[in-house]
Amino acid sequence: MTAAPDLPTVTEGATALSISGLTKRFGATLALDEASLAVRPGTVHALLGGNGSGKSTSIKVLAAVHQADAGQLTVGGREYDLRSFDSVDARAAGLRFVHQDLGLFDGLSIAENFALDAGFPLQAGTRIRWAHLHERVTSVLDSYELHVDPRTPINELRPADRTMVAIARALQDADTSADGESLILVLDEPTASLAQHESALLLARIRRLADQGQTVVLVSHRMSEVLSVADDFTIFRDGRTVATLVDASPTEDELVELMAGRAVDALRPVAASSAADELRLEVRGLVSGPLAGIDLQARRGEIVGVAGLVGSGRSSLLRTIFGDLSPRAGTMSINGRPHVPRDVAGAMRDGVALVPEDRGREAAFADLTIADNLSMTRLRTYWSWRGMNARAEQDVSRRLISDFRVKASGPAAPFTSMSGGNQQKVILARWLQRDPAVLLLDEPTQGVDVMSRVDIYRTVREAARRGTAVLVASSDASELLALCDRIVIIREGRVDEDLDAETLDPDDLTRKLLRATSVRQEDETA
């Protein structure tokens, strides 16, 4: 067990931003309860907390998406009442936000994306001065060491560059804003969908921003990354600030303990293989999307990781098995019988379940309750000649909410009233209760806090023990190693390596993944 760090450390000296008494209620839920935050200028300040602890709500108050019930903000010596703080105030205060979805238009160029935010420079009131725009954007990109042509379409950029373009766009008026004061950049999980080497590149650039005097508030669930880049840490629990660590070097266990409010010894995953000899899933010569002939097998009770760089076809593999993409060639079988799904319903009849990466958009019924979302795949269980057994549905939902540690006011609450991480847990719970023959998980713990991540690994392991074969696509090397028995690496559309997870560590896996990438990428990562 680790000793709890001293709580909380008082910040002295100058602050770029300070919040006090921040309170926000949603109906019966007290999302923020007199929370506080003090950020020193020129630092990376990590804002940490479990799912539902209030991080997004506080950011949404700063971005004027929500108005607080109480709270004061001081920025650059000016005080604001957070009950009436609006987006004009937020901009004037020098606050700039980059949300997880980045808000970039993929088909447009970098320069066009910049101009959509700041306006197109015009000549004679009508003609766009393209040369001027490109010159200005190039100079901003250069200042963030992004040496790319401003005419490049967003969808041709590597993932870390895309995030960096969103950051550069948010800071494009850094020289002219807020009376020359530096801006405060708020980043909400910027690395959530990035592979380890892309994250490393982005974090190095974020660190450089702070070293050049920018102030960065960073929300992330990836502890090792936060520890590598942050100077100061504020930890939220149940809407309150439970600790502020200034210029500190806490251990991961100390941070997790502060977030969880309990010791962390019991939180380590236990990964004992339950693989049997019997084949559950067999894929031969599969050609689909970028896949050019995949051969893959998963046995009963086996958890197989699918690794590969962005664009390698990990998601296409899962979607093809789930009947959502039609293969151009190849065969699939489940339990020795041909698996030729014409659509998703056909794949489900064969015993396949998929938890997709973009759960919010693809997997959730946002307008319905949590109970409805949980029971969506098992509705038949609750119907009889007497009609719908709502009590049984509520009871099962209550048990799942408790088993998966979902933080919600109850099964009847709207799905959208939960925090992002809790929504992820509900979708996972929905599919795991089906005992599928083959379970396909795409980035299963993206946005999920470190405490719940271990619960989810245990649940997946338990499903495997009951006989399910699991395929996990993940960009997080540590996750693949914690969860899987075997890891296949997809490269150039084929399974290039098939590795025993026990023999690897995250660095080995990342090195193997990067083997075939361009020299440019390796240079930048170094």
Ligand X SMILES: Nc1ncnc2c1ncn2[C@@H]1O[C@H](COP(=O)(O)OP(=O)(O)OP(=O)(O)O)[C@@H](O)[C@H]1O
Residue ranges that bind ligand X, judged by CB under 6 A: 26, 29, 31, 49, 51-57, 407, 417-422, 449
Closer residue to ligand X in complex, CB, 301/447: 447
Kindly give the interhelix angle for 196-211 and 159-170, rounded to the nearest 10 degrees: 30
Kindly give the interhelix angle for 110-118 and 159-170, rounded to the nearest 10 degrees: 30
Q: Please identify the residue of the shown chain whose CB is closest to the bound ligand X.
A: 421
Closest CA to 474 of 196, 101, 190, 161: 196
Closest contact distance (angstroms) between CB of 58 and ligand X is 7
Closest contact distance (angstroms) between CB of 35 and ligand X is 10
Closest contact distance (angstroms) between CB of 105 and ligand X is 25
SS3 415: helix
Closest contact distance (angstroms) between CB of 403 and ligand X is 18
Closer residue to ligand X in complex, CB, 53/397: 53
Cα distance between residue 383 and residue 31, in whole Å: 36
Closer residue to ligand X in complex, CB, 72/417: 417
Closer residue to ligand X in complex, CB, 53/433: 53
Closer residue to ligand X in complex, CB, 182/446: 446
Closest CA to 494 of 284, 292, 328: 292
Specify the amino acid at residue 465: R
Closer residue to ligand X in complex, CB, 419/510: 419
On whether the CB atoms of residues 212 and 441 are closer than 8 A, the answer is no
Closer residue to ligand X in complex, CB, 29/177: 29
* Residues sharing a CB contact under 8 Å with residue 132, sequence separation 6 or more, in sequence order: 121
Closest contact distance (angstroms) between CB of 482 and ligand X is 20
129-166 burial, b at 16+ Cβ within 10 Å, e below that, comes to: ebeebbebbbebbeebebebebeeebeebbbbbbbbbb
What number of CA atoms fall less than 13 Å from residue 38's CA on the CB side?
Answer: 16
Closer residue to ligand X in complex, CB, 197/407: 407
Closest contact distance (angstroms) between CB of 422 and ligand X is 6
Cα distance between residue 113 and residue 104, in whole Å: 7
On whether the CB atoms of residues 72 and 19 are closer than 8 A, the answer is yes
Closest contact distance (angstroms) between CB of 188 and ligand X is 8
Closer residue to ligand X in complex, CB, 5/420: 420
Closest contact distance (angstroms) between CB of 52 and ligand X is 4
Helices (H), ranges, 69-178 = 87-92, 110-118, 130-143, 159-170
On whether the CB atoms of residues 225 and 238 are closer than 8 A, the answer is no
Closer residue to ligand X in complex, CB, 52/305: 52
Helices (H), ranges, 241-291 = 252-260
Q: What does residue 220 show for φ and ψ, rounded to 5 degrees?
A: -155, 150
Q: Please give the span between the terminal C-alpha atoms of the chain, in angstroms, as a whole number.
A: 35
Closest contact distance (angstroms) between CB of 421 and ligand X is 3
Closer residue to ligand X in complex, CB, 169/453: 453
**Hey, how many other C-beta atoms are within 10 angstroms of the C-beta on 26?**
13
On whether the CB atoms of residues 258 and 4 are closer than 8 A, the answer is yes
Closest contact distance (angstroms) between CB of 178 and ligand X is 26
The residue behind tokens 């490109």 is 134
Cα distance between residue 263 and residue 257, in whole Å: 5
Specify the amino acid at residue 80: Y
Closer residue to ligand X in complex, CB, 53/241: 53
Closest contact distance (angstroms) between CB of 365 and ligand X is 16
Closer residue to ligand X in complex, CB, 51/274: 51
Cα distance between residue 39 and residue 88, in whole Å: 21
Closer residue to ligand X in complex, CB, 29/143: 29
* DSSP strand pairing (17-26 vs 70-75): antiparallel
Closest contact distance (angstroms) between CB of 56 and ligand X is 3
Burial class from Cβ neighbours inside 10 Å (0-12, 13-18, 19+) for residue 517 reads: middle
Cα distance between residue 78 and residue 74, in whole Å: 5
